[in-house]
Amino acid sequence: MRWRPVAPALVAIFSLPLLASSREQRAHGAALFASSGCQHCHMINGAGGHRGPNLSSIGRTAKKSAMRDQIVNGSQIMPAFGDVLEPQEIDDLIAYLHSCRAKKRD
């Protein structure tokens, strides 16, 4: 019974590297969004293009698997990036997009 107060502290301590890694992954994904040209067609939080859908709230509406499929395979309008981006880059981009959770404005 003495371990109960310690368990949450241990979980928090061991989660810190995961949180830092996740933060770095999202930051790298945001940089990829800009450097890969995604912002030319897609807007996030008021910045970017209007050719593709606004992705400001994509993290609220799309599953990570759907994001991956769209990025890798593209669509009739969007080009495929599966041969352009490395698997880790795709993961980072998805982590960033999944963090885009702005509330939709009416």
**Average pLDDT value for the chain:** 85
First-to-last C-alpha distance (Å) of the chain? 52
Categorize the per-residue pLDDT at 6 as very low, low, confident or very high, splitting at 50, 70 and 90. low
The torsion of the CA quartet 10, 14, 20, 25, rounded to 10 degrees, works out to: -140
Q: Considering only CA atoms, which of 60, 78, 61 is closest in space to residue 69? A: 78
Q: Considering only CA atoms, which of 29, 80, 28 is closest in space to residue 59? A: 29
pLDDT surpasses 90 at 35:
yes
Categorize the per-residue pLDDT at 21 as very low, low, confident or very high, splitting at 50, 70 and 90. low
The structure's pTM equals: 0.78
Instruction: Please give the Cα distance from 33 to 31 (Å, whole number).
Output: 5
Categorize the per-residue pLDDT at 91 as very low, low, confident or very high, splitting at 50, 70 and 90. very high
pLDDT surpasses 70 at 76:
yes
pLDDT surpasses 50 at 15:
no
In CATH terms, 7-99 corresponds, of 1.10.760.10, 3.40.630.30, 1.10.3720.10, 2.20.25.570, to 1.10.760.10
